Amino acid sequence: MKFDLKTLEEYSDDALLAELRRVAETLKGQRLSIDRFNSLSRVHSTTLRYRFGSWRASLEKAGISEEIAPRQRVLSRAQVVQCLRDFAERNAGASVTRDAIAAQLGVHATTLTRRFGKWENLLAAVGIPPVPLGRRYTDEECFENILALWTHYGRQPHFAELNQTPSTVGSKAYVRRWGGWRKALGAFVRRVNETEQGSETQPRPEESSAPATPPVPDLAVPRSINLSLRYTVLSRDRFRCVLCGASPAKDVATELHVDHITPWSRGGLNVTENLRTLCLRCNLGKGSRIENAQPSVAADAPQASRR
Ligand SMILES: [Zn+2]
């Protein structure tokens, strides 16, 4: 076996870097590690370190790519924290899991806990709740859910029913927001009562005294019926269809809607006198367009096979 002379003729910066490049080239694409270098080079890696500051700096100065000398993935706490913040921002509501962050950083999940200790501690340092909270609900969503349950059961819903279908907002959300179910119900009733006045007396756009204005839909007077009115109408009608008497309490498949007696499109107002409770079937059945429409059975029916 023939070895090259284990010394360089000169030890200028250029000579050292040339030696580094030479070793890298002899590897023909294989990974260049410090150990590898020391076994093949005529200078020791410490010489390079002293001259250029570090092994990494030497590689950079020599223009050796990361492909040949892969950087040891050094994760700083700041990097991980930044990644956590970015992830939480981009995925609002999602729980920030160790696996998700590890994938983001391109490391193994255990690397994170090995380097930074308990995952919960790291989350706490960033100010991210360690326990996934799930989705945050607005007051409006909480109240809508109460109304949906009230309609479903035909009565005031119970606490336990918050965690059963058809509830879409769990009991924890109410406790967190209002401190308890009774208080949440109190807030619901207050909302119903406070918005009951005012909304009924709001003028429709065509009634406003602005003759020059073209009749464009005014979003201030919505076609939709607010929560308070819907509650008022539903409870007045005892959570039953006023036409056929169907109720979700008797048949869970029943879907109740608050309907305009004089359609909104024909000037019907959002007032209790013009509103009634209908089940979906009766609500659809009353529409003349739907009544006259013949379902195209022939088109959908499977063709009889000829013999
Ligand atoms: Zn009905």
What are the residues whose beta carbon lies below 5 Å from ligand 1 (ion)?
A: 241, 243-244, 246, 279, 282
Q: What percent of the chain has pLDDT over 70?
A: 74
Arithmetic mean of pLDDT over the chain = 76
Both tokens assigned to 240 = 């039953």
State in Å: Cα 259 to ligand 1 middle: 11
What does the radius of gyration of the chain's CA atoms come to, in whole angstroms?
36
Res 18: pLDDT: 93
* Residue range 92-121: mean pLDDT, rounded: 71
* Residue range 284-300: mean pLDDT, rounded: 44
* Residue range 222-230: mean pLDDT, rounded: 81
Greater model confidence, 109 or 80: 80
Reply yes or no on whether the pLDDT at 241 is more than 60.
yes
State in Å: Cα 179 to ligand 1 middle: 38
Helix residue spans in 12-76 (DSSP H): 13-26, 34-40, 45-52, 55-62
Greater model confidence, 117 or 237: 237
Residue 76 vs residues 30, 79, 80, 107, 116: alpha-carbon distances, Å: 28, 5, 7, 13, 9
State in Å: Cα 297 to ligand 1 middle: 25
Reply yes or no on whether the pLDDT at 302 is more than 60.
no
Is the bond leading into 214 cis (omega within 30 degrees of zero)?
A: no
State in Å: Cα 257 to ligand 1 middle: 10
Least confident of 25-34, 142-151, 214-223: 214-223
CA 27 to chain centre: 49
- How many angstroms separate the most distant Cα atoms in the chain? 105
CA dihedral 102, 104, 107, 113 (to 10 degrees): -20
State in Å: Cα 253 to ligand 1 middle: 12
State in Å: Cα 201 to ligand 1 middle: 29
Report d(CA 199, CA 193) in Å as an integer.
11
Residues in a beta bridge with 164: none
- Is residue 207 within 8 Å of residue 221, measured between CB atoms? no
Reply yes or no on whether the pLDDT at 213 is more than 50.
no
Greater model confidence, 97 or 296: 97
Q: How many residues does the chain have?
A: 307
State in Å: Cα 167 to ligand 1 middle: 23
State in Å: Cα 285 to ligand 1 middle: 9
- Is residue 283 within 8 Å of residue 189, measured between CB atoms? no
Reply yes or no on whether the pLDDT at 191 is more than 60.
yes
Task: Please tell me whether residue 211 adopts helix, strand or coil conformation.
Answer: coil
State in Å: Cα 282 to ligand 1 middle: 4
Q: 242 pLDDT band (50/70/90 cuts)?
A: very high
State in Å: Cα 300 to ligand 1 middle: 28
Both tokens assigned to 277 = 């409770």
Greater model confidence, 34 or 15: 15
pLDDT tens for each residue of 36-85:
788 888 888 888 888 888 888 899 999 988 777 766 566 777 878 887 88
Res 74: pLDDT: 65
Residue with tokens 């950079």: 60
Greater model confidence, 307 or 93: 93
Which of 154, 80, 176, 70 shows the shortest CA–CA distance to 121?
Answer: 80
State in Å: Cα 278 to ligand 1 middle: 5
Residue with tokens 């096979």: 305
* Residue range 160-171: mean pLDDT, rounded: 86
State in Å: Cα 204 to ligand 1 middle: 29
State in Å: Cα 233 to ligand 1 middle: 15
Q: 219 pLDDT band (50/70/90 cuts)?
A: very low
* Residue range 130-146: mean pLDDT, rounded: 75
State in Å: Cα 255 to ligand 1 middle: 9
* Residue range 252-256: mean pLDDT, rounded: 85
State in Å: Cα 145 to ligand 1 middle: 22
Res 169: pLDDT: 85
- Is residue 87 within 8 Å of residue 100, measured between CB atoms? yes
State in Å: Cα 242 to ligand 1 middle: 7
